[in-house]
Amino acid sequence: MDREWLKLFFEENYPTQASGVVAAAVTVILAYSIHSLVSLRKKNVAVWHRKGYMEIPTPKDSYPYFGHMLSLGKKPFLQLEKWHQELGPVVHIDMGIQPWVLISDPYIAHELFVKNEVKSSDRMRHAFTYDVYSKGGKGIVFIPPNQEWKNCRTVADTILSTENIKNFVNIIEAVTDNTINRLKEVSEKDGSVSPVKYIQKAIFGIMISLLFGKTPGSIEDSLLDSIICMAENELRLAGPSGDIGSFLRYSSWVNTVTRKNKEIKSVVDTRDKVYGELISEAIAGETDCLAKQANLLKEKYNLDEMDLIIIMDELIGAGGDTTAASASWLFAILPRYPDIQKKMGEEIDKFIAKNGRIPTFSDRKELPYVIAVLRENLRYRSVTCLGLPHLAAEDVELLGYYIPKGTVLISSMPALNMNQDVFDDPKEFNPERFLGDTSTWSESTQGDIQSRNVFAFGWGKRSCPGVNLAEMNVFNICVRTFAHYTIEPTLGTDGKPSYADLNDILSLGTLYGPNEFSVKIVKRAV
């Protein structure tokens, strides 16, 4: 949980002259709000406790006004997993005034998000994501599934199709090789390397090249850093701090007093300027790219320039940090498993001996063990805790439960991936559990629930359109690393291996990735 809003009144840079007024206001508002919410919750009991329906279990750790927000702790994924273990796969919590229903079972999630997708595919009217970022109804990610959404989604699906992305494989491989070489150079020079930022820059560099037709060498560091900064600010503002008023009654004024509204406007104004210029340059240029392709579809699907800006931003945001997080988790996890790395290297060596080249994504079925490792990596450490929340557009009847209209619907990704009813020994990193399944992540995401084992990319019509590109990027980083190197732990002062803390999570809005850690990139002994 982004708890930044809880610290706003205590920050050193908060205006001193306003602090007394704010403190008094907070006291009055909290007192009034708690009194009002007691009455409101009494009314809500009748809404949730419908005759003839089972009651959805609710944790006891709830506080007046805040609900369960203060009970999530510094590592919400651990608390959510604990609640699911105690209460079952369907849990109801209150995030301030927002009722949330959390699902940790794939069959129940499929029932809710796929079979009931007409009722369960709406989005929250978040002040930042909907009103400002999406300009009140543009783009794909944060708007309701209406005709505008359908048109934008069709454009995204078209330009991100597997066949189309194949045309950009050379760019992806070139950026990947440059990054791996850089990791090796730094590791040799300094004795170790922290790979997270290098991987992040590689993925964002690939996205900028594909979207706007810029060759990797032509992307200035200032542009790359600016786009990464924008993406991270947008992720942060997509959480509670970007719209406190939708979580806590009578608190929308906080964004004004703390200058949050000014920051929100600045982030989006910068986005519009930077991406507007990049799109114009791409359209005028001679290099084929996704922005140019989207522009050719603009009239057919009744889109304007702002639609293109938002779509491009969403593709970079969705395909940037989450993909980088998955690849970074791989580097954090595998130093613990040299035997797994050895098997991966041997499988890649076998392909190279047969074909005289490093495998590409189109060769993936000839690398079943590598594919199993990447699927287990995606399961073992999720790149998101809550996914992108859905909203119940209508009342939903779910397997004997009643979910009222307006409820926020959540797929609890880490709890789902660690569900022992779904995966044997889920706390163990075991790629063998996926051997024999060489379906792509996209095929699994869109497949029948009996065989589905990839959940990170959402459900039904709201699933991520960039799944193929995400898998291609992670595949290339993995294969082109282990074709030459192993990833080994650093040594502590006691001479013992020092591994990344896999519970040291970088939580940024909806993103869950590893915090900085160090490894050694070592030439393989073939």
Say whether 385 counts as a known binding-site residue: no
What pLDDT, on the 0 to 100 scale, is given for residue 74?
Answer: 79
Per-residue pLDDT of 365-377, as tens digits, reads: 999 999 999 999 9
Please report, for residues 196, 233, 467, the alpha-carbon distance to residue 201 in angstroms, rounded to integers and kept in the order given: 9, 16, 19
Average pLDDT over residues 495-520: 89
Residue 379, pLDDT > 90, answer yes
Instruction: Yes or no: say if 520 and 489 are a contact pair by the CB < 8 Å rule.
Output: yes
Average pLDDT over residues 16-21: 40
What pLDDT, on the 0 to 100 scale, is given for residue 21?
Answer: 39
Question: Starting at the edge strand that comes first in sequence, how are the strands of the sheet with 408-411 ordered?
Answer: 90-95, 98-103, 408-411, 390-391
- The sign of the dihedral angle between the CA atoms of 461, 462, 465, 466 is negative
Q: In a 3-state reduction of DSSP, which class is residue 11?
A: coil
Determine what percent of the chain is predicted with pLDDT higher than 90: 72
What pLDDT, on the 0 to 100 scale, is given for residue 42?
Answer: 52
d(CA 343, CA 105): 32
Helix (H) or strand (E) holding 400: none
Task: For Cα atoms 242, 319, 446, give the angle at the middle one, nearest 5 degrees.
Answer: 105
- Residue 493's φ and ψ, nearest 5 degrees, are -65, -20
Model confidence band, residue 45 (pLDDT cutoffs 50, 70, 90) = low
As a whole number, the mean pLDDT across the chain is 88
What pLDDT, on the 0 to 100 scale, is given for residue 358?
Answer: 97
> Between 243 and 98, whose confidence is greater?
98
Model confidence band, residue 385 (pLDDT cutoffs 50, 70, 90) = confident
Residue 392, pLDDT > 70, answer yes
Angle between helices 147-159 and 305-333 (to 10 degrees): 60
Model confidence band, residue 61 (pLDDT cutoffs 50, 70, 90) = confident
Per-residue pLDDT of 170-185, as tens digits, reads: 999 999 999 999 999 9
Per-residue pLDDT of 62-72, as tens digits, reads: 988 889 988 98
Residue 107, pLDDT > 50, answer yes
Average pLDDT over residues 156-176: 94
Average pLDDT over residues 315-324: 89
Read off the tokens for 404: 């009222």
Instruction: Yes or no: say if 327 and 199 are a contact pair by the CB < 8 Å rule.
Output: yes
- Residue 141's φ and ψ, nearest 5 degrees, are -75, -45
Per-residue burial over 236-246, b = 16 or more CB atoms within 10 Å of its CB, e = otherwise: bbbbbbbbbbb
Class of the 4-523 domain?
Answer: mainly alpha
Model confidence band, residue 41 (pLDDT cutoffs 50, 70, 90) = low
Q: What is the dihedral of CA 133, 416, 408, 325, to 10 degrees?
A: -10
Question: DSSP string spanning 83-118?
Answer: HHHHH-SEEEEEETTEEEEEE--HHHHHIIIIITHH
Per-residue pLDDT of 286-302, as tens digits, reads: 999 999 999 999 999 99
> Between 165 and 25, whose confidence is greater?
165
d(CA 435, CA 452): 14
Displacement of CA 35 from its chain's centroid (Å): 37
Average pLDDT over residues 109-124: 96
**Residue 417 CB partners (closer than 8 Å, separation 6+):** 379, 380, 382, 423, 426, 455
What pLDDT, on the 0 to 100 scale, is given for residue 236?
Answer: 85
Instruction: Yes or no: say if 167 and 148 are a contact pair by the CB < 8 Å rule.
Output: no
Helix, strand, coil tally for the chain in percent (to 5): 55, 10, 35
Q: How many CB atoms lie within 10 A of CB 306?
A: 15
* pTM of the complete model: 0.89
Instruction: Yes or no: say if 41 and 69 are a contact pair by the CB < 8 Å rule.
Output: no
| Radius of gyration (C-alpha) of the chain in whole angstroms | 24
d(CA 114, CA 121): 9
Domain boundary assignment for the chain:
4-523
What pLDDT, on the 0 to 100 scale, is given for residue 9?
Answer: 32
Determine what percent of the chain is predicted with pLDDT higher than 70: 88
Per-residue pLDDT of 200-242, as tens digits, reads: 999 999 999 999 998 867 777 889 999 999 999 998 888 766 6
Read off the tokens for 398: 């779910």
d(CA 481, CA 328): 12
d(CA 460, CA 379): 19
Task: For Cα atoms 258, 261, 266, give the angle at the middle one, nearest 5 degrees.
Answer: 120
Please choose, from the candidates 444, 378, 476, the residue with its C-alpha nearest in 3D space to the C-alpha of residue 165.
476
Per-residue pLDDT of 247-272, as tens digits, reads: 777 666 666 666 678 888 999 999 99
Residue 493, pLDDT > 70, answer yes
Average pLDDT over residues 468-475: 96
Average pLDDT over residues 129-145: 93
Question: DSSP string spanning 348-394?
Answer: HHHHHHHHSS---GGGGGG-HHHHHHHHHHHHHS-SBSS-SPEE-SS
Model confidence band, residue 8 (pLDDT cutoffs 50, 70, 90) = very low
Per-residue pLDDT of 321-350, as tens digits, reads: 889 999 999 999 999 999 999 999 999 999
